Structure 1
Amino acid sequence: MEKGRIACAPMRSMPIEVLGERYQIGEPIGRGGMATIYRGQDMRMERVVAIKVLREVYSTDPKFVTRFQREAKAASSLQHP
């Protein structure tokens, strides 16, 4: 994702192939307590990205959404080689 850009989409069965008309979603590569991480492709920047999707059960709880967004902001500031 672009630095500072956060997508907060609830996880359903995740058959969505493209998120925000920009990110192509691939296979799941990780799972945690709050979210699932998918391998993705930034179609504009032509690069591989990780897409973290909040589980649906947490997507309606403002406390979890705020925490998810805070973590995403912190992660977006990281620079990878």
Structure 2
Amino acid sequence: MNDTKDQAAPVAIRVDPVISRSQADAGLPGVQVEYTAEEAERNGAFEETALSEADAWEANADLAADDPQGTAILVGGKRVQRKGRGG
């Protein structure tokens, strides 16, 4: 028989955030480092990593034109196919 009277209830532990302005603290677990916009940009925070339009079209190029269940680029609810690219 399980005796649940002796089991302690779980306790929620409150942890206050640690906020620093020192870049040296950036590698410490649980520490949030505040940066100015200039510091963040120097550290690569605003580096553009999105696909270009050409890369997006290239990724869509291998879809079969006659496959109604295939994924395609949709604009305004209509399938868009780039002319001259085999589709």
TM-score range (shorter-chain normalised) is: under 0.3
Q: TM-score, normalised by structure 2?
A: 0.20
TM-score, normalised to structure 1, is: 0.21
Structure (1 or 2) with the larger CA radius of gyration: 2
- Identify, as 1 or 2, the structure richer in strand: 1
